[in-house]
Amino acid sequence: MRPRRWTGLIRRWGRYLPVSARTPVVTLDEGNTDLVPAPALAAELDLGRARAEVWLKIEGQNPTGSFKDRGMTLAVSKAAEEGSRAVLCASTGNTSASAAAYAARAGMKCVVLLPKGSIALGKLAQALVHGATALAVEGNFDDALDMARQAAERFPITLVNSVNPYRLQGQKTGAFEVVEQLGGAPDLHCIPVGNAGNISAYWMGYREAKEHGLSRTLPRMLGFQAAGAAPLVRGHRVANPKTVATAIKIGNPASWDLAVAALKESRGRVEAVTDAAILKAYLLLTRREGVFCEPASAASVAGLLRLSREGWLRRAAAGRGRGVVRIVCVLTGHGLKDPDRAIALSPKPKVIRPDLASLAKALRW
């Protein structure tokens, strides 16, 4: 029998991507992540007479634990095709982890600019262990991205932030997979928004899926930002963004215009969610669905719960009668990226002596 295994998203979706036979494919077999039902979350939602079917796109299953690998396989492959020897990015953590891993795979140098003190531990470990040169910038992500853009103009190094168009091209494959997994597009697509690349990429993917005849419909795009870092919601830059969801602690998103277009064209919405709501959603996912994502990812679920509470979902579902409304939430990164947050939100293990009496006492049996 011919072996059949998943060999990454460029090989699977190459006909819809800007690659040719000459492109050296740099891959860690990213993509093909599971779409897992979320019945406990669905039961929390109020859609009037309609019924919610909620699905979680588990992007933490990618090789470096986040959706960034979808864009990075393409960005680094194209950099290699163009003869580049080094890549550069600014990052709240996940992009740097992914860039470092794909650069290692390609035999390239990697430089990452990280806002000092704002990177979750797991992500920092990844960038370092894959051999990237990590520099802690005394500033926020927006400052670091400005620097990275200037540096890429001046020095012979390829910028692999999502302003590199290949990044969004790779990330659009997430939408192709959802369409394939559901047999069509969902009604609503919930996603956290930071630099606003991913919401733009998914919308491009859904539109192309429709053009290519893979789906007949388009979803409404629902983007969620942390309340302390919500420039798209407020309509202006945020100079000093603040949130526990460090991945989306961004005040001046690079893909602002694309995201606004996606929201408008899809009759979508962008909303802010508080840190408390993000952490509540995070615990709902971990404790009731058994799914461990990082705090930024839980913003998509916090936002969905907010729209339910405000009656928006009910109104959106009004035309459905007793039908089903299909909702996808993208869980963009793995929970292990930010172990400090997981531990801070959980009770400490009690220390006991190694005997049954101590166990019984601890458990109050």
The residues that touch ligand F0G, with contacts defined as CB under 6 A, are 66, 68, 91-95, 162, 192-198, 247-248, 294, 296-297, 332-333
Pairing outcome for strands 324-331 and 51-58? parallel
Q: Which is nearer to ligand F0G, 95 or 243 (CB)?
A: 95
Residue 300 CB, nearest approach to ligand F0G (Å): 9
Least distance CB 229 / ligand F0G (angstroms): 10
- Quick one: 186 or 335, whose CB is closer to ligand F0G? 335
Rounded Cα distance between 107 and 153, Å, is 22
Cβ proximity to ligand F0G: between 198 and 215 the closer is: 198
CB closer to ligand F0G out of 94 and 173: 94
Nearer to ligand F0G, 216 or 234 (CB): 234
Query: 350: which residues sit within 8 A by CB, 6+ positions away?
Result: 362
Task: Choose between 158 and 297: whose C-beta lies nearer to ligand F0G.
Answer: 297
Q: Minimum distance between the CB of residue 322 and ligand F0G, rounded to whole angstroms?
A: 34
Is the sign of the CA dihedral 8, 11, 15, 21 positive or negative? positive
How far apart are the C-alpha atoms of 196 and 257, rounded to whole Å? 9
Please state the closest distance from residue 270 (CB atom) to ligand F0G, in A: 11
Tokens of 293: 């994502």
- Closest separation between CB of residue 314 and ligand F0G, Å? 27
> Considering the complex, what minimum distance in angstroms separates the CB of residue 162 from ligand F0G?
6
Q: Which is nearer to ligand F0G, 114 or 317 (CB)?
A: 114
The minimum distance between CB 290 and ligand F0G, in angstroms, equals 19
Least distance from ligand F0G to the Cβ atom of residue 329, Å: 12
Token pair belonging to 279: 């952490």
Closer Cβ to ligand F0G, 27 or 255, answer by number:
255
